[in-house]
Each structure stands twice: as structure tokens, then as C-alpha cells.
Amino acid sequence: MKQKLSSLYGRDGTKAVLASLISILIGLAVGSVIILIVGLANPALGLSSAWDGIRLVFGGLVSTGRDAAGSLTFGFNPTNMGNMLFRATPLILTGLSVAVAFKTGLFNIGAPGQYLMGTAATLMIALGIPSETVPAWLIWALAFVGGILAGALWGCLPGLVKAFLNINEVLACIMTNWIAANLVTWMFDGSQFRNVVENTKSGYIYKTSFNGVETAKLGLNKLFPNSQVNGGIVIAVVIAVLVYILMSKTTLGYQLKACGSNRHAARYAGINDKRNIVLSMAIAGGLSGAAAALYYLSGNTEFFWSTYQSLPAIGFNGIPVALLAANNPIAVIFTGCFMSMLDIVGLQLTNLTAYNEYITDVIIATIVYLSAFSLLIRMLLDGRKKRKKAMVAQAGGTNTGAGPSSGAQEGGEQA
Amino acid sequence: MTFLIQQTLIYAVPLMIVALAGVFAERSGIINLALEGIMIFGAFTGVLFVNLTQKAGIFAAAKAADNWVALQGFELLAMLVAAVLGAVFSLLLSFASVNLRADQTIGGTALNLMAPALVLFLIRILANQNTLQMAEGDAASWFMIKKTTLGFDRTADLGFFGNTFLHKVYLATYVCILLFVVLSIILYKTRFGLRLRSCGENPQAADSLGINVYKMRYAGTTISGALAGMGGFVYALTTANCAATGDVAGFGFLALAVMIFGNWKPLNIAGAALLFGLFKCVAASYASIDINGDGVYLLAQIGVSPHFYRMLPYLITLIVLAFTSKKSRAPKAEGIPYDKGQR
């Protein structure tokens, strides 16, 4: 039994999971400490409100509001659960987008721009085709595919300039992000898609349900009453599995990963590295586009079209999702859910305490920071393992060590 | 024309100083992708310092007496505070990338995520809204140098140069230009500068000659952080009326592009920054630019969408990078963690 446990502990996957869990715990602790400091420094907040804030950081998902006495109550909250799954849908997909690019050695910080282009294409198709003549499911499918294609096209741009002009993809991605933000605003400015029916909603595009187009609920709304959850989460999970198959079971996936490990060696082995870089960015862009499509096709989300001053956070949050998952497509499903749980935590904090949702962004940033040296955390874990191994060896047992682990460290091409 | 030059300078100078910040980090071998985040943090700390000092009433007497020397000192003090805290913030990056040999791109991204989150969290608690402003008055009445502050008459005509460079300007702009010159000389003409640059080219060789690579990289990143923090505050002061919003609209990344376009050399960077400042200025105030002073607002009248002007700086960056990237020569060892045991 002990033997079994230690071999489980020695596996790369286990170590990756442990490293991520440690990162998450430290991130949550940092968030709590900041809440505590702010609470103590600000007489209007005080220790009890800081304690409320900290409890919500850890247990916001199961928070059920405040009782009559004004203290926080906790319990199973299906609405929060459903909303978490709904918000996880785009995060899983942008996480996959960043992860696929990482596997090819590219840092896709362009997910926000790809997401925006996907949003624009999806909304224009979903609202532009009249639902009187075309069946709604067909419009849905067209809009979904349109969003993916728009994202893929936008993702191609940094890929092309990286492959053929050797421009650092991080800079190219950031420039395309801001170009997309202005372009999307330009496209919607003056268009007939702006919501003019509800005059409280100035600056918003119509919901797609305005045209009768929305994602099927698949009965999930019965499971999680009052929440926004729909079939999108199922599609996201299916896509994650498909990406896993693509990356680890096909020739294309092998070529992409080969380019990521060593571009020059891959070329020497007869792999077309330029084509693979462009392809990888196109797939990444398509996944971000799919994220936007599923988010806005849900029928109950609205797009604020004057977006030229800010980029969507969902795009950037794909980075921590991918890093936490060590770029494993299946793990992305879970880390995506974790990140959307943080979202819910932020909402609860804003609604129930004097703190606001930005503390969850601090937690996310801490996690990204820690994953920059996840190798170190794993080395520490290795150190523990070695000590254990020595003990086992003393006891006369044998144990096979695992090779050096990679993962997040693969990513991040140099400028 | 006067307006155009002044506006261009306002955008070009922070770009220039932040691009130089990038140079100091990269020449020492650390990719500082966190420039944007450090700028946001610096802008916040500078504005917070101004805000708190005003609330404490320390400079209220000077303001009432129109003692502009004291007020300019106040401005310099705020710049210093932003620089110091920017440097402290950048220690997070140098610690991760020098001591822990972390991936510098991800570390920088983490700081870029951290700064707006932390800043907005604090601003929301401090000000109950998403913007932190000065406690009283505005940047123009407190810090701007005008004809009258210099003792000229309101109606006096200072000539073209006087009107452009002495009227309605900020001292911060000139301090930044001076710092730019001084630091460029330090980078190229002193022993310290040579050592710093050698760590970005060949750290192993530098180490073999007794230079402490870790120390040099810490120095490079810390100077970088100080300059970026100060640049962030100058940006907030001159373009955003001394208000912090947890956002500098991709300015830090533009500075990185300016640095690459300027080939990691100060003189080229100054030129590139002026060019980008011009585009940024066109994007921000195309509607009120009167190029030859005949009352015709050409850019607003040719009927191009404002969205196009706003897109322009980013579009030009991409195109310019496409043309220059073949020739660009980055420091050889940048982005590679230094490992003593490695050959």
C-alpha cells in the first residue's frame, strides 16, 4: 500500500497537481492577508468585516447570503454552482487557447483580441440573419462557426508575423488586442445591432435571444435553478477532450509540440515550423473565438460595444487557467471551473461586504506569479520525495524516480 | 503648431522614459514585460501621495500664496515617491527572475495582472469609485507652469519658443528629458554602464571578470522599475489630470515597441518616442489639431472615423516592427536566467 502511494506521488502528473494546489493556497492566503491589512488599517471596516471577507474568499461558492442577524450563512447554493459552470465555459476555452499556444512555445496573450473578434462575428451573424426565414438552430450553428473563424483569423496575424518576420509574438498579440478593441467598437458604432429598445441599456448590443437564438439549456437549468447555466459547458468540455486528442494522439499535435520544444530541431527533422506556428496560433484564436461565441450565444449576456478603452478580462484569465493546468487540456476543465469560482467569490464579496471583486484579480495574479517559478515548487516537492526515497531505500524497498518535469516552463518564448 | 508640439511632447516623454526603463532591464539581461504594470502602480502611488498630502494640508499655504517653487517641489516629490515605489514593485520581478530563475515573460505578465487588480481594489476602497483624483483642484492649477507663474504678464508674447516651451507646460516633462540624457550617458560612458551591458550580452564572461551578474541584473531591473513608476505618474499627471484609474491604455507595451524599434539605443529611442508620441497625440486630440494655424481642423474634417485614429498607434507599431525586426539586435542574453554552473 505504501509502495503504491509513493509511486503515485512520484508521477509527474501528481506533482503538477500538487504544485498547482500549493499555488492556489498561497494565492488565497495572499488575498486574505491583503483583506486583513486593509480591514485593520481602515477603521470603517475593522476586524470582523475582514473576517467576513476572508471567509468569503475561501467559501464564496457555498455562501447563501446573510441571515436576519447579519452574519454570513453557508450552505449548498445551486444558483452559485450553475453560474460557476456558466462562467467557466468561456474560461475553459480561452484557457485551452493559451495552453495550445504554450505547447507550441508561443505565449498567446492575444486571447482578448481574438475573443473580441469572435464576439463581433458571433453577434453580427446571430442578430443579422432574420429568424423568420432561417431556423434558429441553424443561425446558432452559423454564429458559433463564424465566431471560431473570426477568432482563428485574428490569431493567425501574430502567428504570421512571428513565423515570417520574427516579431516577438507577445508584442504582436498586444498590438492586435488593441487594434481589435478599436475595430470592434468601430464596427458596432452606428450599426443596427445596438440595443435601442431598452433605453436603460445604452451602449449595449442586443442579446441574441432578441432574435430567438440561444444555446439549449439541456435540462441543466432544472439541476441548478435560477442560474445562467446552459449546454455551453458541455460543448466546452467536449472541445477540451478534442484538443487533448489532437495534442497527444495525432501527428499534427506531435509536430506542434515538437516546434514548442525546439523549433530548430523540429525543422531539422523535416517539420515545417513556420506552418505549425501559424496553425497553432489559428487554433488558439479559434478556441478564444469559440469562448466568445458560447458566452454571447447563451442569450442572457449583453455586449458593451464601446470597448476601445478596455480589453475583456476573460481573455487574460485564460493565462492563469492554462498555467495552473500545466497546459493539460483535461486539467483546463477543472482550473477553468476554479477560476470561475473565484469570479463568484468576487461577486459575493462585492454584494455582501465592503470589499470588492478586484481582490480576486489579485489572487489570480499571485497564482500566475507563482506559476512562473512552478519549477522551483516542483523541485522542492522533489526534494521531499528524495528524502522519502532515502528512507524507503533504508527500509529495503525500491522506487523508480520520475524524470524532470516540464509544463508551464515550456512556454514563454524570449523576446 | 504650438499645440501639436506640446501635445506630442506630453505623450512622447513618458514613452521615452519608460522605453529607457526597458533598455536598462533588457541590457542587464532581464525582459521587463511588466513595464505596463509598474506604470500603473507608479501612477497610483504618485496620485495617492498627492491626494494624501493635499488632505493633510501640507502644501495648502504654498498654494494659497501662489508659491510656485514649492508647488513644483511638491510635483518632484510625487515623482520621487512614484519612482521609489515603482522600484519596490519591480523587485517582485527581479526576485523571481534572478533568484528563482523563473520564466520572465510569465513573471512580467503576473505583475501586469497584479498592478491593476491591486490598484483598483485599493482605489475602490479609498475613493468609492474607480478613479482616484486629486483631493482638491486639478493638475493645471497646481502643477502647470504658465506665463503668469513665471512672472510674465498675461498678455505678454513670448515668441514661438516661449509659447511652446514655457507656457502651459509641466516641469516633469523637462525633468524626464534631463534624466533620459543623464542615464543614457551613464549607460554608455561609465564603468557601471559597461558592466551592466556586459551582463546582458555575455553574463558568463562578465562573471569570469569578477562582475556580480546577480547584482547587476538587480540594479538594471530596479532602475527600470523606478523609471517606469515615474513615467507612469508623469503620464497620469500630464495626460489624465493627475488621476489614477488602474489603466494606462497599453502605454507600457507601446514603450516596449519603441524600445525594439529604437534598437535598444537611447538616441534612436528618443526619435522613435517622438514619432509614436505624434501618433498618440493625433489619436487623442485629432479634433482640435490645427496644423498651420488657419482655423481649419484638417484631421477632423477629412471624415475619417475617430476609431481609426485611435487604432493608428497600435497599427503603426505593428507595421514598423514588421519592417525593422529583421535588422534589430536584441541583447544576446536577455530572457535567459543566469546559471553559474552553466557553460
Summarize pLDDT for A318-351 with one digit per residue, the tens: 988 998 888 899 999 999 999 999 988 888 888 8
Q: What is the DSSP string of B38-98?
A: HHHHHHHHHHHHHHHHHHHTTTHHHHHTT-HHHHHHHHHHHHHHHHHHHHHHHHHHHIIII
The one-letter amino acid code at A13 reads G
pLDDT average, residue stretch A146-169: 92
Q: Which three cell numbers stand for residue B121?
A: 481594489
Higher pLDDT, B2 or B238: B238
Select the residue from B94, B105, B111 to test the A interface by mutation, using most A Cβ atoms within 10 A. B105
- Assigned domain for B335 exists: no
| A44-48, A96-100, B21-25: least confidently modelled range | A44-48
Helix axis angle, B251-261 to B213-239, nearest 10°: 120
C-alpha A277/C-alpha A258 separation (Å) is 11
Residue that is written with C-alpha cell 440573419 in the block: A129
Asked whether residue B156 is assigned to any structural domain, the reply reads yes
Mean pLDDT of B230-239: 91
Contact B134, B54 (CB under 8 A): yes
* Residue A135 confidence (pLDDT) above 60: yes
Question: What chain A residue is nearest to B120 in terms of C-alpha separation?
Answer: A358
Question: A2 Cβ partners below 8 Å, 6+ apart?
Answer: none
- Please report, for the domain that includes residue B136, its CATH number: 1.10.3470
For B98, the closest chain A residue by CA position comes to A373
Report, as an integer, the average pLDDT of B315-328: 81
Q: What is the mean pLDDT of residues B109-113?
A: 90
Which chain B residues are within 8 Å of A166, Cβ to Cβ?
Answer: 325-326
Using 50, 70 and 90 to split pLDDT, how confident is the model at A414?
very low
The pLDDT confidence band at residue B230, using thresholds 50, 70 and 90, is very high
Q: Per-residue pLDDT averaged across B147-170, rounded?
A: 75
pLDDT interval class at A412 (50, 70, 90): very low
| Torsion region of B310: left, alpha or beta (phi above 0 gives left; psi -120 to 50 gives alpha) | alpha
SS3 assignment for A91-129 = HHHHHHHHHHHHHCCCCCCCHHHHHHHHHHHHHHHHHHC
Has residue B161 got a pLDDT over 70? Answer: yes
* 3-state SS assignment for residue B167: coil
Nearest CA in chain B to A109: B109
Chain A residues in contact with B125 by the CB 8 A cut-off are 38, 42, 45, 354-356
Rounded CA separation A158/B175 (Å): 37
A312: left (phi over 0), alpha (psi -120 to 50) or beta: beta
The arithmetic mean of pLDDT across residues A269-296, rounded, is 93
**Does any domain span residue B84?**
yes
Distance CA B227, CA B21 (A): 5
In chain A, pLDDT over 90 holds for what percent of residues?
A: 32
Q: What pLDDT shows up at residue A409?
A: 37
- Asked if A269 and A146 touch (Cβ cutoff 8 Å), the reply is no
**Contacts of residue A120 in chain B, CB cutoff 8 Å?**
none
Nine cell digits for residue B246: 488602474
Task: Tell me if residue A15 falls in helix, strand or coil.
Answer: helix
- Which chain B residues are closer than 8 Å to A318 by Cβ? none
B94 domain residue, yes or no: yes
What's the angle, vertex CA A232, arms to CA A244 and CA A141, rounded to 5?
A: 95
Question: For the whole model, what pTM was predicted?
Answer: 0.84
B339 belongs to a structural domain: no
Is residue A398 predicted with pLDDT exceeding 50? Answer: no
Of A186-190, B58-62, B108-112, the range with the lowest mean pLDDT is B58-62
The mean-pLDDT minimum among A204-208, A281-285, B156-160 falls in: B156-160
Angle, alpha carbons B148-B152-B158 (nearest 5°): 110
Q: Give residue B343's pLDDT.
A: 57
Contact A152, A115 (CB under 8 A): no
Whether A369 sits inside 8 A of B310 (CB atoms) is no
Q: Which range has the top average pLDDT, A238-242, A259-263, A322-326?
A: A238-242
With 60 as the cut, is the pLDDT of residue A405 above it?
no
- The β-bridge partners of A74 are A63
| Lowest-pLDDT choice from B265-269, B290-294, B309-313, B329-333 | B290-294
Are the Cβ atoms of A412 and B104 closer than 8 angstroms?
Answer: yes
| Least trusted range by pLDDT, from A390-394, B80-84, B328-332 | A390-394
Q: Is residue B341 domain-resident? A: no
pLDDT, greater one: A190 or B189: B189
Distance in angstroms (rounded) separating the CA atoms of residues B231 and B90:
14
A366 contact residues in B (CB cutoff 8 A): 110, 114
C-alpha cell at B79: 515623482
Say whether pLDDT at A189 is over 80: yes
pLDDT at B144 over 50: yes
On the question of pLDDT at B126 being above 80, the answer is yes
Residue A277: band (very low, low, confident or very high) from pLDDT cuts 50, 70, 90: very high
Cell digits for B275? Answer: 514619432
Q: Which of A161, A186, A362 has its CB closest to that of B117?
A: A362
Q: For A369, which of B96, B307, B311 is closest by C-beta distance?
A: B96
CB pairs under 8 A between A and B: 167
Q: Averaged over A165-184, what is the pLDDT?
A: 89
| Contact list, B321 vs chain A (CB under 8 Å) | 161, 165, 167, 171-172, 175
CA distance B62 to B242: 19
Residue B208 burial (10 A CB sphere; 0-12, 13-18, 19+): exposed
Cell numbers linked to A410: 515550456
CA B305, B306, B312 angle in degrees (round to 5)?
100
pLDDT confidence bin for A5, thresholds 50/70/90 = low
CA distance B172 to B74: 11
Residue B332 domain-assigned? no
Our count of domains for chain B comes to 1
Write the CB contacts of B310 (distance below 8 Å, at least 6 apart in sequence). A182, A308, B283
The segment with the largest mean pLDDT, out of A128-142, A365-379, A397-411, is A128-142
Cell numbers placing B194:
559597461
Q: Do A373 and B335 touch (CB under 8 A)?
A: no
Nearest CA in chain B to A158: B318
- In the predicted structure, residue A406 carries a pLDDT above the cut 50: no
Q: Indicate whether B296 belongs to any domain.
A: yes
Judged by CB atoms closer than 8 Å, whether chains meet at A366 and B107 is answered as no
**Domain limits at B247?**
1-327
